[in-house]
Chains A and B, each alone.
Chain A
Amino acid sequence: MDGWSRFTDTFFKPELIERYLPSIASGLVVTVEIALAVIVTGLTLGLLLAVVRTFRVSVLSFVIVIVVDAFRALPPLVLVLIVFFGLPNVGINVPSFAVLWIVLSFVLAAFAEEIFWAGILSVPKGQWEAARSTGLGFLGTLTHVILPQAIRLTVPPITNRALAITKNTALGTVIGVPEILNQASTGQSFAGNATPMMMGAIAYVLLFIPVVILGRWIETRFAWGRA
């Protein structure tokens, strides 16, 4: 057996590709579902927290900063394990899919809050003054003048965080969420061959190509006029 066929036999064995295609595909669907759910709730919560900080109520801001820092500091895997194996001991049983969704949403929200907050701060003070001087209130100014500018500024870093959190869906493997990595590693164990794992890797690439393209599209779409 020459080197090349040994290589294809290890990573691209046709009959294994055929056998594990359905399970990898279903893993891809699960990954996409979790990722979308996490991105929607995580970004919404992150934006909400950043908006709360604009009210500059010191107690609220302090609590937000502490919580956000905690979620940014802890490895997401630690959080996943604590919630999944800890909560049943106090009588709360949360399905693994929900655990992954909630934990990743909070992690994304923590990063997104910092990004949105930085975006809000980077809008010049004169924008607030101009809007307020025309009689627009605090919330009106925030909604119509500040946030549209802040959010545009944050599209690139937010896209990065969304990609990073999507990769973290692989953590679902350790608590039995049937996402891509879980399906792939199960397949690898049963087949004693790396082909299913290679298929999983390809599935991640397939997943990220459209996301990257979407991110670029949003960046150009949200730029205004000429720079």
Chain B
Amino acid sequence: MTVPPSILQIRGLHKSFGSIEILHGVDLSVKEQELIFLIGPSGSGKSTLLRCCNRLEEPSSGSIIVDGIDLMARNTDINAVRQLIGMVFQSFNLYPHMTALSNVTLALRKVLRKPRKEAEEIGHRALARVNLAEKAGAYPNELSGGQQQRVAIARALALEPKVMLFDEPTSALDPELVGEILETMRELKESGMTMLVVSHEMRFARDAADRVIFMDHGVIVEEGPPEKIFTSPTEARTRSFIEKLTR
């Protein structure tokens, strides 16, 4: 049996904002088709780590390699690499002046320079994948939070990324809308997408994640399969965090 190659490799990642260091040297290797959950108290650096993965935050030092491409190399076209890395945000960030379909097709048309017809075909397929085929013509403010977030997922999927980053994708949603997002993510996982998720949906982590990574104060404290992290963590800090969550 061959070991699946790692699609995302982070080595010695440091990130400072001014004189405050948020990430103190993080190493992380994500295998193809893996679903990784990043958990930890607020301010632990998990969102910053995620946002460094497509250089929305500029790392202070360290290396990030996605699908063999070194993100930090001087000659790397960051805009080209970003097409390989889909990102989903807490606040959806749909373009309010565009329909769902235009949201999904903008990058296809303006970055990949696809003709409108082809872009729209891809866009319709991406919307169908998140079960929103019938909402193609709707504007974001005509959609529920859950639907908006699914359009945002479709917008990332349309570019056929190798990795998807989820930054607290359900935190801004009413509780009854969380399920549809998790369901979409589960379907993505089944289709073989590699996913790196910052989220507080511990139940989802428990039954869908391949690996859970606990971060605190800018370092990875502990990582392992969900049942180990949630039921028998080795580190005291992990234990106390998990206890607070389940109390």
Contacts and interface: CB of A to CB of B under 8 A. Distances in A.
Interface stretch (B13-21, B27-35, B103-111): B103-111
A16 to B, nearest CB: 52
Interface stretch (A29-37, A53-61, A132-140): A132-140
Interface string B44-85: 000000000010100000000000000000000001101101
B54 A133 contact: yes
B97 interface: yes
Say which size band chain B's interface belongs to. 20 to 34
Given A134-B83, A225-B142, A226-B142, A144 B93 contact: no
B185 to A, nearest CB: 17
B241 interface: no
Nearest to A126: B93
A144 B96 contact: no
A225 B138 CA distance: 9
Contacts of A126: 89, 91, 93
Interface residues of A, number: 22
26 contacts: A124-B93, A126-B89, A127-B95, A129-B89, A130-B87, A130-B95, A130-B155, A132-B79, A132-B82, A133-B54, A133-B56, A133-B82, A133-B85, A133-B156, A134-B111, A135-B79, A135-B80, A136-B79, A136-B111, A137-B79, A149-B96, A224-B96, A224-B97, A224-B139, A225-B96, A227-B141
Given A130-B155, A137-B79, A148-B97, 15 more contacts: A126-B93, A127-B93, A129-B93, A130-B87, A130-B94, A130-B95, A130-B152, A132-B56, A132-B82, A134-B83, A134-B106, A135-B111, A136-B106, A145-B95, A152-B97
Interface of A: 124, 126-127, 129-137, 140, 144-145, 148-149, 152, 224-227
Q: What 10 A-B pairs come out closest when comparing CB atoms?
A: A130-B93, A225-B139, A134-B107, A126-B93, A133-B87, A135-B83, A135-B82, A135-B111, A225-B141, A135-B79
